[in-house]
Amino acid sequence: MGYIREDVELVGTLKSKKISALFDSGAYRNYVKRKLADGEDVGDVGFHIFEGIHKAVLATGDTATGERVRFKEVLIRGHVVNEPEFVIMDNFVEDMILGVSLMQTAGVMLDPPNEKIVMTLK
């Protein structure tokens, strides 16, 4: 078994952007890296709600501070999740991590043996 990644579309107030997302059943929240792999700043997508500062506990046990925001939408295989909350982090390994709460809302199930997602909602 490996990592389950798929491109999703993050829709903001300024534009939308396809971003490679790691689907992580061990994460509750959603995270997005400030400086994406292609060099673009995720702030250029434009979030529309700032919810405050968030202290995250990393896989290493260290803590890091990020900004908790809401974008307009995230699209997973065409399925829309409105106003998803993300924590914008600096120095993050993945461009985006989607946690279980968003996966449940979007009807995403993980198929680890085949390293893919399965959509349960139509």
Domain of 12, CATH number, reads: 2.40.70.10
* pTM for the whole structure: 0.92
Q: For the chain, give the secondary structure using H, E and C.
A: CCCCEEEEEEECCCCEEEEEEEECCCCCCCEEECECCCCCEHHHCCCCEEEEEEEEECCCCCEEEEEEEECCEEEECCEEEECCEEEEECCCCCCEEECHHHHHHHCEEEEHHHCEEEECCC
Over range 73-79, report the average pLDDT: 95
What is the rounded distance in angstroms from the CA atom of residue 47 to the CA atom of residue 51?
11
Structural domain boundaries enclosing 47: 5-119
CA-to-CA distance for 18 and 40, rounded, in angstroms?
A: 12
Count of domains observed in the chain: 1
Q: What is the mean pLDDT of residues 62-82?
A: 94
**Token pair in block for residue 31:** 């995270």
What pLDDT sits at residue 122? 66
> Residue 31: is its pLDDT beyond 60?
yes
Beta-bridged to residue 71, according to DSSP, are: none
Question: What phi and psi, each to the nearest 5 degrees, are found at residue 71?
Answer: -95, 170
